[in-house]
Amino acid sequence: MVDLFSRYEMTIDGRPATAAHSFEVFNPATEEAFAQVPDASSAQLDEAIAAARRAFPAWSALPIEQRQKYVAMIGDVIEANAEDFKRLLTMEQGKARSGADWEIDGSVYWCRAIAEQSLPVHVLEDGPDHRVEVHREPLGVVGGITPWNFPLLLAVWKIAPALVAGNTIVIKPSPFTPLCTLKLGELCRALLPPGVFNVVCGGDDLGKWMTAHPGIAKIAFTGSTETGRSIMASAASNLKRLTLELGGNDPAIVMPDIEPKALARELCWAAFQNSAQFCVATKRLYIHDDVYDALAAEIVDYAQTIKMGDGSQQGTDLGPIQNRPQYEKVWALIDEARASGLRFLLGGERPEGPGYFVPLTIIDNPPDDAPVVTEEAFGPVLPLLRFTEVEDVIRRANSSHYGLAATIWSRDTERAHEIARRLETGTVWINETHVFSPTIPFGGHKQSGIGLENALEGLAEYTNSKTITVRKLPT
């Protein structure tokens, strides 16, 4: 039995590893430190990478069916400990029970679904004289680096395809939310051959060492665009493969033919799910002038029914911001909006008491160049923006260096589809939002990222393509 609530150690070469130094993990709802975790040295990272390299030949030589079975078993072990994982996730990340259910149950589902994927040899040509085939080969050691908003699910998005494709992995969770990932490493010690799945723990420097390390063949990263840029520069040293899932400033466009009351609920959740600490949260809500006032009123009404608080308490819908630096960043945006005289339809007042809480905050039609519009808040601050012309709203939606996802709400799906094709984002949802699946590729355009996660396209990113051509000789 593994106790998820005490003794947090890294997993290196299938064994527990502590470190000479450690740091604390805080519950963002109470601001109390409740766990101590190891702070890996660069020598320990070397050990983890060496172990992953030693494990690679045998792991990659296994028939894929066996690797798929192992990855499905990672799902089983998460499921067997789901209740504890959910509690631990709420303690370290802050999210409410419904969010923890979504993330932990989703992690189980993803492991099982990715475990059904494979990339068989693709035969391009097979004539009497000539054959051309494309094979997919694993890369070696993958370095996974994850953020603090969906710590376990985003780790699984990397671990599962990396292992199915035949790579071994060293994963580093965010120093703000390392606990679920450390415990997953511990649970997998008895499951996987040593060195296949290593978990190291530390701050941003550990991430930098990984991206510069010659023993790592690929970095799979989810986090901010700024960090993504430095990873790309650092990974150039040995031309590492990269998947970068970065920030977003997602627009949603509401056409005049919608029904305000019915839509308000969906729009609120599109914007505020996970307390808006969601790369694809609706962060700029463009509403047609004809329905702006009615819809704004309905959104404010519905938002007031959402209960924010300590995620471990029953009845809580949304938790706090996960950490102090992010909390200060979100308040700086709100303070700037107030100082510039913007009109608040809801929120904007600092609550009393402990915890990094930012109440749901809605701002009425700020100028396009206001920081609450141009910056990724990554917190529950939503600008409502009026538009009248479709051409104009497409231009405004595209006027961002981000290009992650967008949503269009309209009864005229054909028209919405035309608009979708002109938006510069990796995903566009029409009359639905946040549709993710292990079989749907996800990735950003522009500075929201490089490469894809999920689906066979995502799996292929953990491989090199190898072409073999054969001129058949007469017998």
The site for ligand NAD (CB under 6 A) is made up of 145-149, 172, 174-175, 203-204, 207-208, 211, 222-224, 227, 230-231, 245-248, 279, 376, 378, 404, 444, 449
Residue 327 Cβ vs ligand NAD, minimum distance, rounded to whole Å = 12
Catalytic residue among 47, 103, 186, 245: 245
Residue 448 DSSP symbol:
T
Whether the CB-CB separation of 170 and 143 falls below 8 Å is answered with yes
Whether the CB-CB separation of 163 and 197 falls below 8 Å is answered with yes
Whether the CB-CB separation of 118 and 160 falls below 8 Å is answered with no
Max distance between CA atoms of the chain, in angstroms, equals 85
Pairing of strands 241-245, 449-450: antiparallel
Whether the CB-CB separation of 291 and 254 falls below 8 Å is answered with yes
Residue 50 Cβ vs ligand NAD, minimum distance, rounded to whole Å = 20
Nearer to ligand NAD, 322 or 410 (CB): 322
103 is catalytic: no
Query: Which residue has 């679920």 as its token pair?
Result: 180
Amino acid present at 458? G
Residue 398 DSSP symbol:
H
Helix, strand, coil percentages (3-state) for the chain, rounded to 5, are 40, 25, 35
Q: Among candidates 9, 186, 179, which has minimal Cα distance to 87?
A: 179
Residue 268 Cβ vs ligand NAD, minimum distance, rounded to whole Å = 20
Nearer to ligand NAD, 325 or 351 (CB): 325
Nearer to ligand NAD, 93 or 410 (CB): 93
Residue 160 Cβ vs ligand NAD, minimum distance, rounded to whole Å = 15
Residue 267 Cβ vs ligand NAD, minimum distance, rounded to whole Å = 19
Nearer to ligand NAD, 334 or 346 (CB): 334
The CA-CA-CA angle for residues 355, 269, 439, to 5°, reads: 110
Residue 237 Cβ vs ligand NAD, minimum distance, rounded to whole Å = 13
Distance from C-alpha of 382 to C-alpha of 362, rounded to nearest angstrom = 5
Residue closest to ligand NAD (Cβ): 207
Nearer to ligand NAD, 94 or 444 (CB): 444
Q: How many residues does the chain have?
A: 475
Helix, strand or coil for residue 208?
A: helix
Nearer to ligand NAD, 52 or 242 (CB): 242
Whether the CB-CB separation of 149 and 274 falls below 8 Å is answered with yes
- Active-site positions read 245
